[in-house]
Amino acid sequence: MGLQAEFEKFDEKIRLSDSDLEDLRTKRDVLLGKLRDSDDLPVFKEFSQGSYAMHLGVKPTDDREFDIDVALRFQVDKEEADPFEYKQTIYDILKHHTEYGATIKNPCVTVTYKKDGEAAYHVDLVSYAYDDHLDADGQMYIAKGKTGEDSYWEAADPVKLVDYINDAIEEGEKREQFRRVIRYLKQWKMRKFASDGHGEPPSIGITLIAADHFTFHKDNDLQAVIDVSKAIQDMFFTADNDENGDPVYDIQLGLPNSLRFEPGNDVFEKMSEHQKTGFKKKVDKLVRDLDAVAKEPDLAEQCRKLSKIFGNDFSIPSVSETSKKQVPFIPATSSSG
Amino acid sequence: MLFVGIDERLSIKDEILLTIRRHVQNGPFRRESGGVLIGRELIEGNLVVVEHMTSPMPRDRRGRHFFDRRDASHVVFYNELNKDECIYAYIGEWHTHPERSPEPSVKDLRNWSRIRGEDFARSVQYHAIAGTYEIGFWAFGPADKQVSLMARRKWGDLGL
């Protein structure tokens, strides 16, 4: 087996499959049933967004939770709807649904479940309204804010965003490689960044850069992931110097112009310059380490290096798997001069 | 380091080169050192990975201008590596020369020719000679007396 087969084996281990989420989907449907039965909420159409909808989900590492994102498209006009009211109502309906209750976050209401006594899953419910709910293709708005005071409607285009990513690369082996590459990078990200705070770059940032810069390399996921990693590296620019004279880096990326999001948005906006500089250093190391893999001729050694980058799910073939059998021979003596 | 041999590529692990470098005759009284190079032939990629070696043993005979590998421990080490599964091949000899840029001596060529005649497992051997400034790798075979310099690298360029 060559390196490509090892990459595909790795993908098989990390990718989130339908069965991984079966439990969570059942839980989601119970939640949605409760919301639908409530007289306090207007009619909504649900829609699956987030990494799972884009076929880019990876299994969470031990310290993280499975999650599923559900868009609730309320059939209302935003002019007649309060951006906080629905979130508050969702919260009130679901706050006693699980032991962990619900939390109102800036972009959504989160309901957390536990498994074996630990928080293990969460469902993010995202509320949307329309400019004109009779025009299903019209502008949509996401309800943002954590309190009644700071809430607002912000232009969003969630359905088209999922389509944009799903259709970014032509169907077939190219699209499959594109999705694998993003899953590899998400696995790398999960291992190299802490999940708390905003130090970890958002997945949508990496996904969008990949969508714009992916190049297909037949049977060569290594080169494909190197190309996207270098594209991420190239997005950084020097913003400033810190007190020691070391460069401080910035990275900015708007959602695609063809989509109808609030103008001036930046998917990396929550990261501080310090966090972005940390991100840059990790990407630099990733590119260096991947280049070293490309230069290494020995398959087992390549896999050893890759398992340092991507974790133990990247298996290392044994030397006996990768080596030819030999007829034993060694000269008993030798005379050099 | 990586170099192209006769119909195959060879990758010499850094640890091997580092060990050989420790033996270079960079002092007026340092004797020649030597041992064997051992590697694996990969199933894919037409590559030989040289990742094991032996170093001078007590019963080897050593002088300023000769190294005679006589200690049985070299063979024992090789056999031990292949104890469970025979995947390690004898690749060739290595030894040092008290000169900057090494060249095989008449004695070396005679030795390599004898080994070529004995080796029924591989048709080409790769032998290294380590000078104080450079290391060279020579292929011997497949025909007898067919000796070719395959690679010559300055120690400083190896990034060790």
Pairing assessment for the beta strands B134-140 and B125-130 based on DSSP bridges: antiparallel
A169, A175 contact by CB (below 8 A): yes
Whether the per-residue pLDDT at A116 is higher than 80: the answer is no
Pairing assessment for the beta strands A102-104 and A109-115 based on DSSP bridges: antiparallel
- Which amino acid would we find at residue A136? A
Whether the per-residue pLDDT at A102 is higher than 70: the answer is yes
Q: With beta carbons under 8 A apart, name residues in chain A contacting B72.
A: 332
Whether the per-residue pLDDT at A119 is higher than 70: the answer is no
- 3-state DSSP assignment of residue B136: strand
Q: With beta carbons under 8 A apart, name residues in chain B contacting A324.
A: 40-43, 87
Q: Which of B32, B51, B85, B134 is flagged as catalytic?
A: B32
A229, A283 contact by CB (below 8 A): yes
All CATH 3.30.460.90 domain ranges in chain A, comma separated: 16-156
Mutate to test the interface with B, among A222, A299, A329, A330 (most CBs of B within 10 A): A330
What are the tokens at A17?
């499959």
pLDDT-derived band at A1 (thresholds 50, 70, 90) equals: low
User: Does the CB of B36 have a partner CB in chain A at under 8 Å?
Assistant: yes
Q: With beta carbons under 8 A apart, name residues in chain A contacting B89.
A: 326, 329
Mutate to test the interface with A, among B111, B122, B126, B138 (most CBs of A within 10 A): B111
Q: Can you give the pLDDT at residue B15?
A: 95
| Residues across chain B | 160
- CATH number for B104: 3.40.140.10
- 3-state DSSP assignment of residue B153: strand
Whether the per-residue pLDDT at A118 is higher than 90: the answer is no
User: Does the CB of B90 have a partner CB in chain A at under 8 Å?
Assistant: yes
A10, A314 contact by CB (below 8 A): yes
A64, A51 contact by CB (below 8 A): no
B32 has catalytic annotation: yes
Q: With beta carbons under 8 A apart, name residues in chain B contacting A297.
A: 2, 9, 11, 45, 47, 49
Angle, helices A173-192 vs A299-310, to 10°: value is 60
Contact B42 A324 (CB under 8 A): yes
Residue A172, exposed/middle/buried by CB under 10 A (0-12, 13-18, 19+)? exposed
Q: How many CB pairs under 8 A join A and B?
A: 108
A311–chain B nearest CA distance, Å: 24
Name the closest residue on chain B to residue A337, using Cα atoms: B66
Task: Measure the CA–CA gap between B107 and B115, rounded to whole angstroms.
Answer: 12
Mean pLDDT of B128-156: 96
Cβ atoms < 10 Å from Cβ of A13: 14
Whether the per-residue pLDDT at A61 is higher than 90: the answer is no
In which element (H, E) is residue A141 found?
strand A140-144
Q: With beta carbons under 8 A apart, name residues in chain B contacting A329.
A: 89-90, 118-122
Give A249-283 pLDDT, tens digit per residue. 999 999 999 999 999 999 999 999 999 999 999 99
Q: Can you give the pLDDT at residue B81?
A: 96
Q: Which of A2, A325, A336 sits opposite B86 (nearest CB)?
A: A325
Nearest in space to A86 (alpha carbons), one of A109, A112, A113: A109
Nearest in space to A127 (alpha carbons), one of A163, A166, A165, A91: A91
For residue A268, what are the contacts with CB-CB under 8 A and spacing of at least 6? A201, A202, A205, A251, A252, A253, A276
Mutate to test the interface with B, among A3, A302, A335 (most CBs of B within 10 A): A335
Ramachandran region, residue A208 (left: φ > 0; alpha: ψ -120 to 50; beta: rest) = alpha
Whether the per-residue pLDDT at B36 is higher than 90: the answer is yes
What are the tokens at B21?
């470098």
Residue A215, exposed/middle/buried by CB under 10 A (0-12, 13-18, 19+)? middle
State the residue range of the domain holding B148: 2-157
Q: With beta carbons under 8 A apart, name residues in chain B contacting A304.
A: none
Contact A326 B121 (CB under 8 A): yes
Give A166-209 pLDDT, tens digit per residue. 999 999 999 999 999 999 999 999 999 988 778 899 999 999 99
User: Does the CB of B109 have a partner CB in chain A at under 8 Å?
Assistant: no
Cβ atoms < 10 Å from Cβ of A257: 8
Q: Look at A116 and A134; give whichever has higher pLDDT.
A: A134
Give B53-106 pLDDT, tens digit per residue. 999 999 999 999 999 999 999 999 999 999 999 999 999 999 999 999 999 999
Q: Look at B129 and A22; give whichever has higher pLDDT.
A: B129
B60, B67 contact by CB (below 8 A): yes
A127, A86 contact by CB (below 8 A): yes
Q: Which of B43, B93, B114 sits opposite A323 (nearest CB)?
A: B43
Ramachandran region, residue A197 (left: φ > 0; alpha: ψ -120 to 50; beta: rest) = left
Contact B115 A334 (CB under 8 A): yes
Distances (CA, A) of A183 to A51, B23, B155, B156: 10, 47, 41, 40
Mean pLDDT of A315-331: 94
Q: How many domains does chain B fold into?
A: 1
User: What is A16-156's CATH topology?
Assistant: Beta Polymerase; domain 2 (3.30.460)
